[in-house]
């Protein structure tokens, strides 16, 4: 595979940006070679600057659930842009996107649009603190919630721990307000609330943890979380930046039928443009400025072009059967590969939910906690290279999940599964 144009662009970009990129995982640090610079996407395909074509399973890390360059999303963007790109004043399009979301989501009454998932989560944490008058938050090891200070925190030692910062530049004082627990661990959760229950503003979780492997939680654990939060007056915060509009229109809350108190969205909600959002019941959202005392704002929040893209995308998702068909096609792909791996006796499995899949080089058990993930990523590294050479693009990290879009047809997925199987046989040989 020719990569010389991408390589030259990367040499240049290293002189402009730290590590040559504007978001760390893009730098290909945990796989072979240097990043491919992408020139174009259409449907389920992308092309790099060397004109190599790939079947894309990264889909911009989730937002592109309709694939690249979807005709309706494209047209809505062009139409909105014709009227101007930003006003810093309310527009009809914000109402339209809000109406589309709220009338199809029983868990939230009001919403606030932001420009990224990080911003949505950070703001919603402030709302939870403002609403409860409490400072501490609980997060789970292995969940990612964007890069706000309070959430760049990892577990210390012991069952219930105050977090250690997971990034330089995060004040220890911030980390001290974040308690970090293992996922799917009822005992640790109970103990934490027995000790700190009356100080906890909210418990934040990815109800489908998909940023560090795909750590599917037992429903009973999520139910216990709901029960304990209610008992202690803490808010249950579902960070649905990945799972929202992905596993069902109203996300994991709808799939599991568990009502969170506060929710964040991102990725899919903006149709490929930068949008995040948080929402809750009326009483909680009444805290947000200018209605209430919790300050939160944004120059480009509710940007009309981004709203238009979100409207176009979400209109497709509410069509009957959309999610069933996504899941059917995902299984077409993953079942074929898994059957082959099993027949060959490989320690390998594609773990899946909805139209998300994760490549696990371990088929021994359900992995529900981050420490259960096999830390040896050489298998993934080899598979990633072999797949690139065969024209299949995966996100460049074994901890990240893959996504299937509506543009991934049966035919294309069948072909991709065959390429995947060939790559797997090659690296297992």
For the CB of residue 208, give the shortest distance to ligand PLP in the complex, in Å.
Answer: 9
Options 48, 94, 177, 206; binder of ligand PLP; rule CB under 6 A: 206
Q: Which is nearer to ligand PLP, 192 or 205 (CB)?
A: 205
Count Cβ atoms below 10 Å from residue 410 Cβ, excluding itself: 12
Contact between 288 and 253 under an 8 Å Cβ cutoff? The reply is no
Piece of the chain touching ligand PLP by CB under 6 A; list 113-121, 152-160, 286-294, 322-330: 113-121
For the CB of residue 348, give the shortest distance to ligand PLP in the complex, in Å.
Answer: 24
Does 20 participate in binding ligand PLP (rule CB under 6 A)?
Answer: no
Q: Alpha carbon 183 to chain centroid distance?
A: 17
- Cα distance between residue 313 and residue 307, in whole Å: 10
Structure tokens at 226: 């709901």
**Which candidate in 239, 323, 336, 399 is catalytic?**
239
For the CB of residue 212, give the shortest distance to ligand PLP in the complex, in Å.
Answer: 10
Ramachandran class of 399: left when φ > 0, alpha when ψ lies in -120 to 50, beta otherwise? alpha
- Encoded one letter per residue, x for contact with ligand PLP by CB under 6 A and - for no contact, window 211-230 reads x-------------------
For the CB of residue 195, give the shortest distance to ligand PLP in the complex, in Å.
Answer: 27
| Spatial CA neighbour of 236 closest among 353, 376, 128 | 128
| 239 has catalytic annotation | yes
- Encoded one letter per residue, x for contact with ligand PLP by CB under 6 A and - for no contact, window 155-194 reads ----------------------------------------
User: Which residues on adjacent β-strands are paired with residue 235?
Assistant: 202
The sheet with strand 53-56 has its strands ordered as: 38-42, 45-48, 53-56, 392-393
| 144 has catalytic annotation | yes
Piece of the chain touching ligand PLP by CB under 6 A; list 2-10, 69-77, 140-148, 327-335: 140-148
Does 152 participate in binding ligand PLP (rule CB under 6 A)?
Answer: no
Contact between 191 and 201 under an 8 Å Cβ cutoff? The reply is no
Residue nearest to ligand PLP (CB): 117
Residue 241 sits at φ, ψ, to 5 deg, of -60, -35
Piece of the chain touching ligand PLP by CB under 6 A; list 123-131, 144-152, 197-205, 220-228: 144-152
User: Which residues on adjacent β-strands are paired with residue 360?
Assistant: 349
| 365 has catalytic annotation | no
* Strand, helix or coil for residue 124: helix
Please give the span between the terminal C-alpha atoms of the chain, in angstroms, as a whole number: 21
Chain residues binding ligand PLP by CB under 6 A are 116-118, 121, 144-146, 206, 211, 239, 241-242, 266-267, 276
The residues carrying an active-site annotation are 144, 239, 267
């Amino acid at each position: 595979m020719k990569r010389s144009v991408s390589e030259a662009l990367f040499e240049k970009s290293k002189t402009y940006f730290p590590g040559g990129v504007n978001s760390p995982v893009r730098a290909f640090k945990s796989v072979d070679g240097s990043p491919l610079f992408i020139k174009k996407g259409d449907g389920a395909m992308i092309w790099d600057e060397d004109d190599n074509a790939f079947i894309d399973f990264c889909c911009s890390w989730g937002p592109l659930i309709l694939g690249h360059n979807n005709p309706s999303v494209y047209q809505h963007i062009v139409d909105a842009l014709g009227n101007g790109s930003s006003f810093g004043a309310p527009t009809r399009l914000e109402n339209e996107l809000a109406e589309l979301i709220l009338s199809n989501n029983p868990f939230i009454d009001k919403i606030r649009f932001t420009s990224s998932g990080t911003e949505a989560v950070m703001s919603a944490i402030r709302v939870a603190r403002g609403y409860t008058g409490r400072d501490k938050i609980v997060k789970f090891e292995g969940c990612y919630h964007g890069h706000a200070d309070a959430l760049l925190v990892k577990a210390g030692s012991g069952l219930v721990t105050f977090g250690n910062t997971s990034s330089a530049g995060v004040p220890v004082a911030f980390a001290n307000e974040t308690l970090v627990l293992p996922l799917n661990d009822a005992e640790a959760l109970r103990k934490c609330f027995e000790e700190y229950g009356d100080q906890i503003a909210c418990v934040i979780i990815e109800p489908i943890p998909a940023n560090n492997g795909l750590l599917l939680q037992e429903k009973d654990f999520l139910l216990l979380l709901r029960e304990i939060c209610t008992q202690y007056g803490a808010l249950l915060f579902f960070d649905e930046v990945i799972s929202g509009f992905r596993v069902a229109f109203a996300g994991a809350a709808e799939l599991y039928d568990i009502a969170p108190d506060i929710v964040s969205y991102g990725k899919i909600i903006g149709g490929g443009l930068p949008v995040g959002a948080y929402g809750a019941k009326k009483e909680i959202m009444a805290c947000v400025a200018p209605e209430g005392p919790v300050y939160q704002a944004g120059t480009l929040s509710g940007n009309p072009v981004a709203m238009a893209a979100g409207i176009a995308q979400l209109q497709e998702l509410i069509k009957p059967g959309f999610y069933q068909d996504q899941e059917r096609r995902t299984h077409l792909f993953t079942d074929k590969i898994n059957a082959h791996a099993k027949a060959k006796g490989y320690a390998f499995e594609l773990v899946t939910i909805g139209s998300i899949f994760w490549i696990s080089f371990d088929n021994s058990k359900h992995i529900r906690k981050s420490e259960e993930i096999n830390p040896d990523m050489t298998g993934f590294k080899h598979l990633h290279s072999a797949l690139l050479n065969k024209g299949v693009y995966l996100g460049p990290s074994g901890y990240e999940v893959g996504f299937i879009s509506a543009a991934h047809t049966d035919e294309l997925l069948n072909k991709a599964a065959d390429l995947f199987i060939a790559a797997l046989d090659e690296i297992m040989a």
